[in-house]
Amino acid sequence: MTDTKRNADISGGERREMFHDSFDNDIDAGPTLANLLRATGDYLASIVGEDQAAKAMEVALAPLFQGAGSRGSIGWRARLDDAVNHCFSELPIGQRLHDLAAYAYYGISFAPEDDEDEAWLHAAVAEIDAFIARSPLALWLPENDAPQLERLALLARNRWALDTGRAVEPAALAVFGGVSEGRMRNMMSGAKRTFTPEDGRIPAAAALEWLAGRAEFWTSIWRDQHLPDQFERNSLPLDRPVFVPVARDESVFHPGLRRNGAYTVGPKGAEMHVVDFDDALLALQRMPGAYWRRPNDAGAWGVVRAVDWRRIDMSDLEALAAGAGC
């Protein structure tokens, strides 16, 4: 019998194991770091001479060489060749890129225990983009021998965009959905196009709606790692999946938020009152930024903004509504 399990239905624990098992040259940006280090040593040698540059590189790369157990009797370039596979584990930025790859490819967080997932991921995504911006890839790697690094940055940046409700680059959406870039371009053009791009990017709500039907997509579950028990069943196939907006405090838009017979959606000054839950959810999906009113712990109704969209079974939303006294 054919296994029809969707990537979205795979639990966080399974994803961690799969990530560790599949971490190889298709994901590992270590070889690119090694190439940049070689180019750095060559450039330094052209300024201070080979002998002085070799001394500097031996000192700078000592932790890498020790971690890889490289032999000290050969030159630093040969030792670096032996240590390529340890670049992600022994270099500080390599460790960061390794952990960020788990997020970019599998939607999970490897943030250190003392760090908040959201803050860590935000900083890590910004760091890789800044690192690439500073790196003379085209100059030092003329054949642009950095596909893993650039692909990692592309996916991490755009997964973060999806997770924070911002438009995504078509090239990243194609990877997330398991289609070619050519097919993605076709989906953005013509009278029967699937997407209507804005400034060359695809709005998050439209992208997530399409990805919901793609078995290849690894949903972002890094926030779910800390969700209360009522959401744990979402690691299983869902009977009635619904995409709902999630606020920064982890509260979601659900049927129990009707007040005086209607849901209040939209930012302050442009709020709308919608009677039907499905209509209210559709209105939120169409907004550039989704806003809705809900009570806080003290019972005061205030406006919150979506920082994520999450796939939840309708029965869980109904349970939330019942708990809210709807």
The three-state DSSP-derived secondary structure of the chain is CCCCCCHHHCCHHHHHHHHHHHCCCCCCCHHHHHHHHHHHHHHHHHHHCHHHHHHHHHHHCHHHHHHHCCCCCCCHHHHHHHHHHHHHHHCHHHHHHHHHHHHHHHCCCCCCCCCCHHHHHHHHHHHHHHHHHHCCHHHHCCCCCCHHHHHHHHHHHHHHHHHCCCCECHHHHHHHHCCCHHHHHHHCCCCCCCCCCECCEECHHHHHHHHCCCCCCCCCCCCHHHCCHHHHHHHCCCCCEEEEEEECCCCECCHHHCECCEEEECCCCCCEEECCHHHHHHHHHHCCCCEEEEECCCCCEEEEEEEEEEEEEHHHHHHHHHHCCC
Query: Tens digit of pLDDT for each residue in 186-199?
Result: 999 988 889 999 99
Strand partners, 304: 292
Average pLDDT in the 201-224 region? 91
Q: Looking at residue 276, what is its pLDDT?
A: 94
pTM of the model: 0.66
Any idea which of 4-13, 148-157, 258-267 has the lowest mean pLDDT? 4-13
Highest mean pLDDT among 45-49, 69-73, 196-200, 304-308: 45-49
Share of residues in the chain with pLDDT > 70 (%)? 88
Question: Mean pLDDT across the stretch 111-121?
Answer: 79
Whole-angstrom distance, CA of residue 77 vs CA of residue 71: 12
Which residue, 216, 140, 234, is CA-closest to 180? 216
Whether residue 35 is predicted with pLDDT greater than 50 in this model: the reply is yes
Q: Work out the pLDDT band at 113, boundaries 50, 70, 90.
A: low
Alpha-carbon gap, residue 307 to 246, rounded angstroms? 6
Using 50, 70 and 90 to split pLDDT, how confident is the model at 12? confident
Cβ contacts of residue 207 below 8 Å, gap of 6+?
162, 167, 168, 173, 176, 195
Q: In what order do the strands lie in the sheet with 291-295?
A: 241-247, 301-313, 291-295, 263-265, 272-274
pLDDT reading at 130 higher than 80: yes
pLDDT in tens, 247-284: 877 788 999 999 989 999 998 878 899 999 999 998 99
Q: Across residues 295-314, what is the average pLDDT?
A: 80
- Model confidence at 233, pLDDT cuts 50, 70, 90, reads very low
CA distances from 125 to 32, 122, 154, 171, 204 (A): 18, 5, 10, 17, 18
Q: Where are the domains of the chain?
A: 7-157, 241-323
| Position 167 confidence tier, pLDDT thresholds 50, 70, 90 | very high
What is the arithmetic mean of pLDDT over 101-113? 88
The reported pLDDT for the residue numbered 159 is 97
Tell me, what's the pLDDT at 137? 87
In the predicted model, is pLDDT for residue 292 greater than 70? yes
Between 123 and 229, name the one with better pLDDT: 123
Query: Please, what is the average pLDDT of the chain?
Result: 85
User: Looking up tokens 């869980």, which residue turns up?
Assistant: 316
**Neighbour tally for 188: CB within 10 Å:** 17
Nearest to 253 by CA among 227, 290, 223, 300: 290
Residues 102-127 have a mean pLDDT of: 87
Answer whether residue 160 shows pLDDT above 50: yes
Structure confidence at residue 72 (pLDDT): 63
